[in-house]
Every structure is written in C-alpha cells, then in structure tokens.
C-alpha cells in the first residue's frame, strides 16, 4: 500500500510537467566552430558522499517531489538573514578547475568515488534577440544532473561523451547559476562496469561552453567520401528550428565545389559533390580542406580530410593501397601533470610521443577520448581506433546496459564522423565469449554500420589454447562480424616467460586482416637487471623483441598497438616500490623517460616502414 505522501509525490512526478532528457535528444556538431562563451575556470564545489543535496531525509529524490531541483537550489542559497537555517552553500565553498578531474586537484579526493556538486555563476547577453543558447559539456564522469537557476535541465549517463541542453528560456543577463551534480560511483549495470584497470577519475573533465545559434541552426553534418567512390563527396546537413525546409549551402573553396541542398520536413538535407581531383588524406600527407556549411546567417567552417579505408582479403587498404598500422595504445591521462588528459596541449604531448615512436596509428583505449585528440590526429596524420567502453564483464542480459552502450557508441560516432583520422570503431575489449555477449556486440556493430558505413568495425578479442601448450587459437564468434580481427595477448608476461614467444604456433582461421590490439609487460623505469628480472627494463625489452618476431610470422599480420605509451594510474596495481598505484606497462615512465622497450618498438617500426608496408 502506498502512503498518502507517496501518492502525492507520484502525482507531482507524473503531472508536474517536468521534462528533462539525456541531452536534448541530439548533440551539437563542432562546438569549437561556433559562437561560444567558455564556462571553463574555477567552479565552487561541495563534496556530498551521502547525496544530501539529491535526496530528502526519506531518501526520496528531490527531483521526484513537488520541488524538483530543490537540493541544488538550497545549496545555491547565501546566508542573508542570520537566523535562517542553512547547512550547505556554494558561497564560500572551495573551487575546482573545470575542465579537470577532482582526484588530481585535491588530495582528499584522490580515491573519492561519489557525488560532488559543482556551481558556476555567469552573466550572458545574447547577440540577437531570437537566437538560441545551449550549454554544452565535452564530458563529465559518470552521471551528471544539470540545473540552471533552480530548474533541472537533464541527466546524462556516460563519462566520455558530450551532451548539451537548451537554456534559451531560462537565461538571464546577470546572475545565472549553473549547478551540476557529478557522480563517479562505479555500478554493476554501468558501461564500463565496476571492474576496470584504470583510474576512475571523477568530475567535469572536459570543456563547458555556452553555444549561441540562430533560431534555425545547423545541428549536425556529415561530409565524407562516399563509400565505394573516389571522387564523390557526400553526406547530410541536419537543421534544427522552425525553418526545417530551408536550403543549405555546402562549399569546398579549394576544390571549387559548391552545392545547394534543400532540407526535407525533418530538417535533413542530403547532398553530393563530384570532385575532379582530390588530394587524399593519409599519414604522409594529412591534407585537410576547409569546408563551409551555411544556412542564412549560420555558417560553420570545418577542416575535413578525404580518404578511403577498406579491407580486401587479408589487407587493409588506405586510399586503395595496402597499409601496416604501426600503433600504440593510449589512455586519456597526462602522467607528467597527473590526472585526466583533456586539453589540446595534453593531446600534443601524447600524440607527439606516438610520433617519436614512428607510429602512424593509435588505439585510444578504452573509451572515447576528448575531441582534441581526434582533431589533432587529423592534423598530424595519425590513424585512430576509437573504442566504446564495453570492457570485460558488463551485464550482457540487461537491456538498460545495452541501451547505455548503444547511446555512448552513437554519440562518439556522431561527434567524430567527419574526422579522416578515425578509421576503426571498436565495439569492446576482452569480453568473455557467450551467446548473449555475441548478440550484444553484433547489435552494437549493426548500429555502428548503420550510422557510418564508411569505417571499419573491430573489437579487442581474446585468445585461447586447447591441447597443445604451444598453440594459441584465435576463435571468437564475434570475429565473423568485424572487418579486422584484433586480439590482445600477453605471452611472456601473464602467460609463461618471454622465451615462450619463440615456440608459439598460431591458429587463426579468418580470411581477414589480423592485428594485435595489445601485448606487453611491466617495467619500472630506471630498474635494471637481466632479461629474466621481472619489472626491469631489460625484461620488457626482451619481451618486446621476442613478441615482435613472433607476431611477424603471422601471415595476415597487418598492424599492432602494444600496451601502452605511458605508465598509467590503476588501483589494481599496488605492489610497493614497483607499481605504487601505477600500471607499469608503458614504454615511457610516469616522469616522461623512455624505457628500453621504446627503442625496440621504434626500430621495428622504422624497419616496417622501410620494407614498404607503410
């Protein structure tokens, strides 16, 4: 039986007209190419481990009472009358930098997993009366509830993808209060789930911007070489606003191409352009063309490269030519500064190190990295693997978990579909084989192909052995659904000693290109010993040497991304004086010093490049 009070509460939830969504149902394409006002900087914060600002003392969320957003609203109060009872207040509370994780900014929050409330006050004057304004978050880990001036805008789930809310009607010229509850508690049903091997950094980890657009604006666009074509650039422009049937213009001045396309009743305008001669994007020539998209007074400029990527038998073809992917895995962390990487200079530091290794490819593990990474990869000519955070053992049977994974995949594809550098969408990492798992991944792969038929699908799979102790078998039903068979293997580290590499025989029965998405072993930078001394640079060096020789014997070997560029923080790695909270498999140490294995890999890549397999 429901109590009277519960019924009243239910009534308010159902009839208060309170509508909030994950992200307004869409994300705005290319925010940095628009009129923005940054909300980066110092935000006041309140640590709230018991979630007092979210639940009342009967543990009913304020959002479900007659005063949605009440908790956030109370926190936003200032003590003006000395007799008034106030127990929480953003006024006089300390500040955190946004973007940035809280763990690396405040010692007390180093291991914290829970809720932190953020608040930022701002004024805003629109440039034109009829314009619309959105607040856009690059990412916040993991669950965010956003309120403006005491009104709830929405809730977003997922730590690595962008979201935005329209705030046109709530905005004031002065004294706006933007409050965000960010909660990074790990949950079984979440994506990723409770068990990972990286630091669960919490906070508003990427840029926050106000974005001002005309009443009808260009919400999204896709400009790419048409699949199967070499000279046809095709795509769509999605308008948002009342003038849905308007005409949009797409221009590529350097190619002397321009076309007008009329939008349909949903605001979508499809177009196609025939070019005479395109200078194709590739690592040796990362050519980007300025592309202008306009609709009345809304013009957006992007820099877009054109290239083809496909597989043929066991080859990966970039612009029709066979390529070998000289890669490295990267976590989104700046070991030198400490904490989550987010800025363009973080991206430069990470991708410059990859370039020093003579890489032409990076695997951005294990979740979507910041947009700065893929924009810079476009400019530097580095091919990219992007990954959905479906890691190890998520709840394959849970429909909400599937919807969550699907949403995160959809959002990263929406965000990065115009980046020439991105060639692979990865569905998952090291997931245990079962029928439900395979169906889950199969469905995700279908979503990815439907959203973007021009790129390759893969996943980091696992290997196994049967009777022969020296045989390693790659056989996973999901391999049928990918374009490139990628697998992780740790022969010589978790599986025997490095000399085992010399004996292993591979059984891989797929007529597809094969890549090794991970291999490696740990070394504490500066620790020396012989090649059998665990955690020494010499052990790791020998392991790299033997592994690369072993992998080179696989006939359809078309690329590799060893684990990993830099040492990274992980709460699973607590061995005193060696790990101390760091996974030491980096070829570069936490202080930026290269380990011996770095040079083994670099030499291997130099040789591969010389051999002509680019």
CB nearer ligand GCB, residue 418 or residue 488: 488
Q: Could you tell me the smallest distance in angstroms from the CB atom of residue 588 to ligand GCB?
A: 15
Question: 282, 318 in Cβ contact below 8 A?
Answer: yes
Q: DSSP string of 469-526? A: TTEEEE--GGGGG-SSEEEE--BTTTBS-GGGGGT-EEEE--SS-EEEEE----B-TT
**Site map for ligand GCB, 131-150, x if CB under 6 A?**
--------------------
Q: Which position has the token pair 């995160």?
A: 408
Q: Could you tell me the smallest distance in angstroms from the CB atom of residue 173 to ligand GCB?
A: 48
Q: Could you tell me the smallest distance in angstroms from the CB atom of residue 35 to ligand GCB?
A: 40
Q: Could you tell me the smallest distance in angstroms from the CB atom of residue 572 to ligand GCB?
A: 8
Segment 25-64, which members bind ligand GCB (CB under 6 A)?
A: none
Q: Which residues pair with 42 in a beta bridge?
A: 97
Q: Which two three-digit tokens encode residue 282?
A: 């590739």
Q: Collapsing DSSP states into helix, strand and coil, what is residue 357? A: coil
If phi > 0 it is left, if psi is from -120 to 50 it is alpha, else beta; for residue 377 that is: alpha
User: Which residue has the CB atom at the shortest distance from ligand GCB?
Assistant: 197
CB nearer ligand GCB, residue 166 or residue 518: 518
If one asks whether residue 430 binds ligand GCB (CB under 6 A), the answer comes out as yes
CB nearer ligand GCB, residue 282 or residue 424: 424
Q: Collapsing DSSP states into helix, strand and coil, what is residue 374? A: helix
Q: Which residues pair with 294 in a beta bridge?
A: 249, 299
Segment 292-351, which members bind ligand GCB (CB under 6 A)?
A: none
If one asks whether residue 518 binds ligand GCB (CB under 6 A), the answer comes out as yes
Peptide bond into 366 cis (omega under 30): yes
Peptide bond into 197 cis (omega under 30): no
Question: 393, 401 in Cβ contact below 8 A?
Answer: no
Say how far apart CA 409 and CA 448 lie, in whole Å: 7
> Which residues have a Cβ under 8 Å from the Cβ of 140 and sit 6 or more positions away?
156, 159, 180, 182, 203, 204, 205, 206
Question: 321, 614 in Cβ contact below 8 A?
Answer: yes
How many residues at the interface with ligand GCB, by CB under 6 A?
9
Q: Shortest CA distance to 423 belongs to which of 515, 357, 349, 348?
A: 515
Q: Could you tell me the smallest distance in angstroms from the CB atom of residue 566 to ligand GCB?
A: 12
CB nearer ligand GCB, residue 166 or residue 476: 476
Say how far apart CA 309 and CA 595 lie, in whole Å: 33
Q: Could you tell me the smallest distance in angstroms from the CB atom of residue 563 to ligand GCB?
A: 5
Q: Could you tell me the smallest distance in angstroms from the CB atom of residue 581 to ligand GCB?
A: 13
Question: 192, 150 in Cβ contact below 8 A?
Answer: no
* Interface pick for ligand GCB out of 488, 525, 536, 547 (rule CB under 6 A): 488
CB nearer ligand GCB, residue 210 or residue 365: 365
Positive/negative CA dihedral, 354, 358, 360, 361: negative
CB nearer ligand GCB, residue 366 or residue 512: 366
CB nearer ligand GCB, residue 414 or residue 429: 429
- The pair phi, psi for residue 227, each rounded to 5°, is -60, 130
Segment 359-398, which members bind ligand GCB (CB under 6 A)?
A: 366
Q: Which two three-digit tokens encode residue 506?
A: 């591979």
* Interface pick for ligand GCB out of 306, 426, 583, 590 (rule CB under 6 A): 583
CB nearer ligand GCB, residue 366 or residue 437: 366
Q: Which two three-digit tokens encode residue 390?
A: 């479906």
Q: Could you tell me the smallest distance in angstroms from the CB atom of residue 198 to ligand GCB?
A: 7
Q: Could you tell me the smallest distance in angstroms from the CB atom of residue 477 to ligand GCB?
A: 20
Q: Could you tell me the smallest distance in angstroms from the CB atom of residue 488 to ligand GCB?
A: 5
* Interface pick for ligand GCB out of 544, 557, 563, 566 (rule CB under 6 A): 563
**Site map for ligand GCB, 149-188, x if CB under 6 A?**
----------------------------------------
Strand pairing category for 557-560 and 514-518: parallel
If one asks whether residue 279 binds ligand GCB (CB under 6 A), the answer comes out as no
* Interface pick for ligand GCB out of 136, 546, 585, 596 (rule CB under 6 A): 585
CB nearer ligand GCB, residue 117 or residue 568: 568
Segment 187-226, which members bind ligand GCB (CB under 6 A)?
A: 197
CB nearer ligand GCB, residue 33 or residue 571: 571
CB nearer ligand GCB, residue 310 or residue 430: 430
Question: 255, 289 in Cβ contact below 8 A?
Answer: yes
CB nearer ligand GCB, residue 68 or residue 562: 562
Positive/negative CA dihedral, 453, 456, 460, 465: positive
Q: Could you tell me the smallest distance in angstroms from the CB atom of residue 277 to ligand GCB?
A: 43
Whole-Å CA distances, 136 to 121, 220, 286, 428: 16, 14, 29, 27
Question: 182, 159 in Cβ contact below 8 A?
Answer: no
CB nearer ligand GCB, residue 138 or residue 586: 586
Q: Could you tell me the smallest distance in angstroms from the CB atom of residue 283 to ligand GCB?
A: 25
Q: Could you tell me the smallest distance in angstroms from the CB atom of residue 518 to ligand GCB?
A: 5
CB nearer ligand GCB, residue 156 or residue 595: 595
CB nearer ligand GCB, residue 551 or residue 608: 551
Strand order across the beta sheet in which 309-312 lies:
309-312, 315-318, 321-322
Q: Could you tell me the smallest distance in angstroms from the CB atom of residue 543 to ligand GCB?
A: 13
Say how far apart CA 301 and CA 15 lie, in whole Å: 43
Q: Which two three-digit tokens encode residue 210?
A: 């106000």
Q: Could you tell me the smallest distance in angstroms from the CB atom of residue 568 to ligand GCB?
A: 8
Say how far apart CA 148 and CA 276 lie, in whole Å: 50
> Which residues have a Cβ under 8 Å from the Cβ of 63 and sit 6 or more positions away?
18, 54, 69, 145, 152
Q: Which residues bind ligand GCB (CB under 6 A)?
A: 197, 366, 429-430, 488, 518, 563, 583, 585
């Amino acid at each position: 039986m429901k109590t009277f009070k519960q019924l009243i509460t239910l009534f308010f939830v159902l009839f208060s007209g309170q509508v909030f969504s994950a992200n307004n149902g869409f994300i705005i394409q290319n925010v940095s190419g628009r009129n923005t006002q940054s909300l980066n900087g110092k935000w006041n914060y309140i640590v709230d481990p018991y979630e007092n600002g979210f639940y009342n003392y009967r543990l009913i969320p304020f959002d479900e009472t007659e005063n949605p957003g009440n908790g956030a609203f109370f926190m936003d109060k200032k003590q003006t009358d000395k007799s008034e009872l106030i127990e929480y207040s953003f006024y006089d509370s300390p500040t955190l930098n946004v973007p940035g994780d809280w763990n690396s900014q405040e010692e007390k929050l180093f291991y914290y997993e829970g809720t932190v409330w953020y608040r930022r006050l701002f004024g805003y004057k629109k440039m034109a009366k009829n314009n619309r304004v959105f607040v856009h978050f690059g990412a916040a880990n993991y669950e965010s509830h956003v309120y403006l001036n005491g009104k709830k805008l929405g809730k977003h789930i997922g730590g690595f993808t962008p979201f935005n809310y329209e705030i046109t009607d709530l905005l004031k010229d002065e004294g706006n209060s933007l409050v965000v509850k960010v909660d990074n508690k790990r949950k079984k049903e979440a994506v990723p789930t409770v068990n990972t091997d990286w630091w669960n950094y919490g906070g508003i980890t990427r840029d926050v911007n106000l974005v001002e657009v005309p009443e009808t604006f260009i919400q999204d666009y896709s400009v790419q070489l048409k699949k199967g074509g070499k000279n046809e650039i095709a795509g769509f422009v999605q308008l948002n606003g009342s003038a849905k049937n308007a005409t949009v213009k797409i221009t590529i001045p350097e190619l002397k191409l321009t076309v007008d396309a009329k939008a349909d009743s949903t605001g979508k305008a499809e177009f196609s352009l025939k070019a005479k001669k395109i200078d194709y994007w590739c690592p040796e020539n990362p050519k980007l063309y300025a592309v202008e998209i306009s609709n009345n007074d809304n013009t957006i400029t992007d820099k877009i490269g054109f290239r083809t990527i496909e597989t043929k038998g066991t080859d990966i073809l970039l612009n029709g030519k066979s390529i070998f992917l000289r890669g490295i895995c990267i976590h989104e962390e700046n070991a030198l500064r400490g904490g989550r990487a987010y800025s363009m200079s973080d991206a430069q530091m990470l991708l410059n190190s990859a370039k020093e290794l003579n890489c032409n490819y990076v695997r951005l593990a294990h979740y979507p990295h910041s947009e700065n990474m893929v924009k810079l990869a476009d400019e530097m000519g580095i091919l990219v693997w992007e990954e959905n955070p479906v890691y190890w053992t998520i709840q394959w049977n849970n429909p909400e978990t599937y919807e969550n994974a699907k949403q995160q995949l959809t959002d990263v594809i929406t965000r990065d579909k115009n980046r020439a550098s991105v060639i692979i969408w990865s569905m998952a990492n090291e997931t245990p084989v079962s029928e439900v798992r395979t169906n889950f991944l199969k469905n995700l792969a279908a979503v990815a192909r439907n959203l973007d038929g021009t790129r390759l699908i893969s996943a980091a799979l696992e290997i196994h052995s049967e009777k022969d102790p020296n045989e390693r078998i790659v056989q996973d039903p999901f391999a049928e659904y990918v374009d490139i068979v990628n697998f992780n293997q740790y022969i010589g580290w978790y599986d025997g000693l490095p000399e085992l590499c010399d004996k292993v025989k591979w059984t891989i029965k797929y007529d597809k290109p094969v890549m090794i998405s991970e291999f490696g072993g740990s070394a504490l930078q500066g620790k020396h010993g012989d090649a059998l001394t665990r955690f020494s640079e010499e052990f790791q060096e020998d392991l790299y040497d033997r592994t690369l020789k072993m992998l080179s014997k696989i006939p359809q070997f078309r690329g590799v991304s060893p684990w990993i560029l830099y040492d990274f923080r992980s709460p699973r790695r607590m061995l005193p004086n060696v790990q101390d909270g760091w996974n030491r498999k980096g070829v570069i140490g936490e202080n930026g010093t290269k380990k011996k294995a770095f040079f083994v890999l670099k030499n291997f890549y130099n040789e591969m490049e010389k051999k002509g397999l680019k």
